[in-house]
Chains A and B, each alone.
Chain A
């Protein structure tokens, strides 16, 4: 693999950039692989990379129905943070954040991780209680997260309206300074390039149609639109489509898939320095390097695979954004879109073994999958290689829905009384 650097770019500039090679190869599938990963998003590609890099397993194929990173990897609002409440969540998201911090250098691909700070607004006493609980838990876990007064919040994010007369006045905020954003496509491409370089096969436009099992019940391969491909182990990491793929192995999942919408404004000169989220008014916002305001809306209420939600979801989100930032009322929405998120009942991910031997699953990341990408991928590689979850992912098992050992971050955000 040719190394990327400013010198390489300069050299290529002299000759019209004719010398760049494909970032990943597009081979025809082999008859059999040691490992097949279903789903060519950030998690799947990353897992392939770490399998090759850290576990020496290179006879690996990532099989993608469409184009790499075309699912939620390429449709999200790119927020990265790790200030979750429960140990299980902090473990994985902090592991992920640490990997984000060195990912560009590790992959030799600028994923533009930008720790510009993630601020979460508190609007009432209930919010404050919940946020303080997070801050204390984060500190004792070793995660940065701090409380800001309204004035400190305004100083960090000048567009914020902290008037006490607002319908939802701001009584403070949390700030995780290491939180921020990254360039979503680059994550998929960077992993694909690095994995491909280590011998992993990245196979696009190949849809899995069935999972074949051997006489002992363990997996033996996948039926695809490119024919049968054998595999000793299979990991399914197909976000919104996990239920569909797992059903091929007769495994029912505690998942429902719903559209999650987002939108961007027209590009503008820098005005918004960080990421701001407000759970009470349901909105989150940042500004991309291109200058677009990137705004996350909510999920639609019903199951759907349509990547197409209702206008009312978007307008409701903009209601909230314009309430927090009245100067943005004249800004224009340039593009809205949807992704399909797979949600578990406790809104925490599932990563672990399944009732089928040598079939592993990574799903249920809901609206938080992007920030988890490197961490999830790294631990998924461990799971596939060792056959059992890594210590840091030990809580994310599928059987918690039988035992009741849920990781309910949403419930812990509590409710108004």
Chain B
């Protein structure tokens, strides 16, 4: 018996379209599999199909999921799909198949005995944790025109999950969060909705910062060092709470770097 592999675009729309297509295949669902992005190793005795993204199909799937899993469950599925792991599409697809079959609503995501649901749980948790870490550790720098600019390079595609928090927090600020790895910008003009912009190669990244930037980054760095109690020094604990990989863009760990160019 042949296995069917649907290769879909690595995006929410792409994978939801894949789910839609999977239900249209004329074979049992157990033998249909989803792959997000590119397949590296093609198998024997398997049929590979490329799946076109369709907004209409994706919206239908989205509506069904909201109905079956509730808002919370739907949100968790979306967050799972923001993961960088390759098996996310398959885990989500299997979970959806089970959810539609069992009809137990959002509760199905609690059945951690099932390996696919557990995988969804794990991926969702990882993306959620990374989002939270960025909410904590992101640092904005003020450009000469008063715009706040932050750089991140997260493993998972968390930019869209960060924005509601910062939009609510800084409604009157012009700010930009730049995902360097994906070359994506989330741009928030003061008092308006934010937009996502895909970066272009020839764009020059900002390299001039305001006067206040130098002053306040210096002040905070001093504060950061002063506030620690030296009798309690514990760098192991510090590393556990604040992993080194986050420190690259953090003001207090890069003292004196505020004026550096950030061109790629």
The finding on whether chains A and B are genuine partners in a shared complex, rather than unrelated, reads no
